Amino acid sequence: MSSSTLMKTFAETDIVDTLIIGSGAGGAPLAAELARNGKSVVVLEAGPAFPATGHTPDEVAARELYWLHERLSAGTNPQAFGGNNSGTGLGGSLLHYGAFMPRMDARDFHLHTETGKGVDWPFGLNELLPYIERVESFIGVSGPAHYPWDPERRYAYAPPPANSAALKMREGCDALGLRHADGPAALITRDIEQPHFGTRHACANCGACHQGCRNGAKSGTDNTWLPMAVAYGAELRPGCFAHTIERDSSGRVTGVVYRQNGVEHRQKCATLVLAAGAVETPRLLLTNGLANSSGQVGQNYMTHVSTQVWGEFDEDIRPNRGYPSLTITEDMMRPKDADFVGGYLVQSLGMMPATWSQNLARSTTTRGPAFARALAGYNRSAGMGINGECLPRPENRVTLSNEKDAFGIPKPLIEHSYGPNEWAMHHHAARLLTQMWEAVGAKDIRVIDRAAHMIGTCRMGTDADSNVVNPVGRSFDIDNLWISDHSIFPSAAAANPALAIMALSLRTAEAMLKT
């Protein structure tokens, strides 16, 4: 965050127009948009304000960017949290996200209509596209001059240079006759003056996107929406863990109790927006017993099928260097030989060494000298990974466990199991990516079965009986409660969620301004 702007502050007794819990992709665009339109806005963020220059590529230390309040992971595919889904600090998960920024495929909005499975969104791509374009334009997204799957699309910044994994994936695509391109990446490749923030430098190809961008090249909310919000009079309060939502006798929200430095505080508000993500948003609603007449709060937790396939090459690959995941193919969005519904995106993968080693260590049982040799293969390794549709399933959900955290609040229990569609997609991708790597001479090819991201749990739709919020994110039960994050996604779609979260956030802000 730039410190050049003196931030306006509000008293706890002030009834602010809008109180927002969460400063990431869901909360920040909305905070900026409401403040820009004259609303008084306070943003509560559980984590600290990290100075960008203090980020470190050391993967163990950089876990300070993860949400560290313990979660319990269950089901037949218990999901790893932290990296790839849950952040803390001003900027939220975008502090450590990979900045891979594809747009949602138009077909993914209507998966149920198309296939009879999954759920439709209450609107289509045409409705969201203007907001998507506003997000891309404001935060800065790089991409190719010609995008093979959408010739009309334009990106304001040239792509960063292709690293070893990106070049190898291009060869693999060529070998199998798949189209490929430089993927959309939320980073800038020339220095700019970001309005309300200051200088952002061009990407230096350092490769540590997931450990926090040190020079402002990666487009997060900390260097875009949040400084804009502050410039228009919003107050950002880091270090504030919100836990209790207070209401009046008619059931409307009146304020939020949060803990800061061990002391309880209360902020009054006219309107509350939850932007805490697909675990913490339903956890807040469940612990407070709110907005759940549909019984859908916490239900239909989704992820992305995120199978990875790694191989070793004869060349010195050095997978830590360069933007990690540049090459994309969208040719698998509806593969002709699919035995599943929906589709998946494929991206090249470089990776930092501890993260890479974790994947290797957890996906094999090799030990002894063979384990040492496998780890020593880091500098020769390149990967590819997918993000694919994950259908909503009743057994996948967020509930409150019997264990309490340090605040005395139940820890969330997240149950996550693949169904037949997810397994079919995993196997399809594992076969295809293995063929691609074999075609370009990779050895010791290794398939890693994993899921990433978190989506769903407070579904958006037109019917109050089966949805938590209406198509603009407003609670059916409490008219001054709104949700702005990926928990409202009715389906997972294949695209990484950050772009759609920010677009929906702007759209929800617009709806709030009309009420």
Partner 1 sequence: MSHPPDRPEILDSDHLSTRTREILTSRLSVSTTQPRTLSLRAYAVLDALLPVLLPLDEILPPGTDISMTARIDAALSGPRDGWRFADLPPDAEAWESALLTLDDAATEQHGLAFIHLAPDLRGSLLDAVMDGQVGLDRAGRLTASQMKRWSGDLRGEVVDCIMSDPRIQQALGISSSLTGGDTVFQGFTNVGPDSREDFEPKATASLLQMTDSSE
Binding positions for partner 1, rule: CB under 8 A: 53-54, 56-61, 63-64, 66-74, 78, 80-82, 86, 161-164, 167-168, 201, 203-208, 214-215, 313-318, 320-322, 352-354, 356-358, 360-362, 365, 367-369, 371-373, 375-376, 378-379, 401, 413
Instruction: Please say which residue, 350 or 392, places its beta carbon nearer to partner 1.
Output: 350
Q: Residue 6 or residue 60: which is nearer to partner 1 going by CB?
A: 60
Q: How far is the CB of 440 from partner 1 (least distance, A)?
A: 12
Q: Are 446 and 360 in contact (CB under 8 A)?
A: yes
Residue type at position 258: Y
Nearer to partner 1, 74 or 424 (CB): 74
Exposure string (b/e) for 57-69, b if CB count within 10 Å is 16 or more? bebeebebbbbeb
Cα torsion for 8, 14, 17, 23, to the nearest 10°? 50
Q: Taking each helix axis from N to C terminus, what angle separates 498-514 and 125-139, rounded to the nearest 10 degrees?
A: 100
CA proximity to 72, closest of 276, 277, 286, 279: 279
The dihedral through the CA atoms of 501, 502, 504, 509 has a sign that is positive
Q: Supply the minimum distance, in Å, between the C-beta of residue 139 and partner 1.
A: 20
Say if CB 29 and CB 509 are below 8 A apart.
yes
Take residue 442 and report the two structure tokens written for it. 């990779």
- CB nearer partner 1, residue 199 or residue 515: 199
Residue placing its CB nearer to partner 1 in the complex, 210 or 459: 210
What do you get for the CA distance between the two ends of the chain, in Å? 31
Tokens found for residue 91: 């900027």
* Rounded-to-integer distance, Cα 275 and Cα 76, Å: 28
Q: Which is nearer to partner 1, 227 or 322 (CB)?
A: 322
Of 320, 275, 261, nearest in space to 59 by CA: 320
**Least distance (Å) between residue 409 CB and partner 1:** 15
Considering the complex, what minimum distance in angstroms separates the CB of residue 250 from partner 1? Answer: 37
Closest CB to partner 1 among 5 and 73?
73
Q: Which CB, 78 or 419, lies closer to partner 1?
A: 78
Residue labelled with tokens 């989506």: 455
Q: Least CB distance from residue 454 to partner 1, whole Å?
A: 11
Q: In the bound complex, what is the minimum distance in angstroms from residue 281's beta carbon to partner 1? A: 17
Smallest distance from the beta carbon of 335 to partner 1, in angstroms? Answer: 29
Alpha-carbon distance of 93 to 249, in angstroms, equals 36
CB contact at 8 A, 121 and 111: no
Q: What's the Cα-to-Cα distance from 77 to each of 45, 131, 223, 275, 303, rounded to whole Å?
A: 30, 34, 35, 26, 11
Distance CA 244, CA 265 (A): 10
Nearest distance in Å: CB 368, partner 1: 6
Nearer to partner 1, 63 or 117 (CB): 63
CB of 70 to partner 1, least distance (A): 6
Closer Cβ to partner 1, 193 or 316, answer by number: 316
Q: Which helix (H) or strand (E) holds 449?
A: none
Residue 215 beta carbon to partner 1: minimum distance, rounded to whole angstroms: 5
The amino acid occupying position 85 is: N
CA distance 20 to 209: 26
Backbone angles phi, psi at 17, to 5 degrees: -60, -45
